[in-house]
Amino acid sequence: MIKDFEIIKRLVGTNVTEEDLKYVDCYIRPQFGLFIPIAGSCGYAAKNDHTHPSYMIVICFGEDTEKKFHYHAEITSPEIPHNDKTGQHYYCLLIEKEYFENRYRLYSDELPVFREHSFELCSDILKTVNTFAFEYSKSMLNSDITLDANSEIITHWIIRSIFGETLDMRAISNDYSIARAQHYMEQHYAENITVARLAELGYVSPSCFNRRFKKEVGITPIEYLIGIRIKCVKILLRRKEIPMTDIAMWCGFGSSAHFSSCFQSRIGITPTEYREKFKD
């Protein structure tokens, strides 16, 4: 007997069976479900053009051509037919319709219909999702409170990620002088930011700041700043009406040539090629 199966049916669909989920680990709250295929495929997901009454977010994991770990996310609205991600390792999150929509409307008055819509996922969600699974498995004291809190955090970060807010909180330093500089860069990335200005925020010398930042974060402050700018660029490139020169200026690049060079070295394709990928 699968635990919380009646709640599962309300999230997955009333015609799901326990046999469908025999190879799936299920972690459930009334408003939120996490489903992870472990020893085989999900029988319900294997059905062609199946639907769910809830919002489905699929996080697929894999390796790229250089054998580096990567993942991507897709969201599908309730009652939209779709097919299984056969042969892939993935997490499936199902969020109850009204619960998701109430939170989405805190960010936008318009609620689009998602049809396997791809988006860049805030990587902190993965740690919180795994924490949710751990809490549910251990049935810890007052776990219903912490599980609901995790559901809330995960849902909000999914919505923020859909809107392009993909800040990785694990990159934020425990060192306040560095964390303050990171926050400043997130807020002022379009401006002409120098290491001297960032060091001034933390009341340390530029050489000391540069050394501490690289040791703590793993990259230099300027590399970190360029990463923030590239994230902004990727959002704007999906808006076809914005000229490349405007994107370069708005995101803090001094010239179109520097913008193109930084983008290609980070992403592996030119800005034009990236825009072409999202032309539809």
Distance CA 179, CA 229 (A): 18
Residue 236: is it exposed, middle or buried by C-beta count within 10 angstroms (0-12/13-18/19+)? middle
Query: Are residues 200 and 76 both part of a single domain?
Result: no
What was the pLDDT predicted at 168? 60
Q: State the total domains in the chain.
A: 2
Query: Are residues 179 and 150 both part of a single domain?
Result: no
Domain C-terminal end among 142, 162, 182: 162
Query: Are residues 120 and 258 both part of a single domain?
Result: no
Whole-model pTM: value is 0.66
Query: Are residues 120 and 207 both part of a single domain?
Result: no
In a domain, 167, yes or no: no
159-181 pLDDT, tens digit each = 998 988 766 655 666 677 888 88
What was the pLDDT predicted at 166? 67
27-60 pLDDT, tens digit each = 999 999 999 988 788 889 888 899 999 999 999 8
Query: Are residues 124 and 249 both part of a single domain?
Result: no
214-268 pLDDT, tens digit each = 888 888 999 999 988 998 898 888 877 788 889 999 999 988 888 999 998 888 8
In a domain, 16, yes or no: yes
Instruction: Say which residue, 134 or 39, is predicted with more confidence.
Output: 134
Domain C-terminal end among 139, 162, 185: 162
Are the C-beta atoms of 267 and 226 separated by less than 8 Å?
Answer: no
Query: Are residues 9 and 142 both part of a single domain?
Result: yes
Query: What CATH number is attached to the domain comprising 250?
Result: 1.10.10.60
Give the list of residues 6+ apart from residue 37 with CB closer than 8 angstroms, or none.
23, 24, 45, 89, 90
Domain C-terminal end among 162, 188, 213: 162
Query: Are residues 99 and 36 both part of a single domain?
Result: yes
What was the pLDDT predicted at 40? 80
Side chain identity, residue 194: T
**Residue numbers of the domain that contains 255:** 172-277
In a domain, 257, yes or no: yes
Percent of the chain with pLDDT strictly greater than 70: 91
Query: Are residues 15 and 125 both part of a single domain?
Result: yes
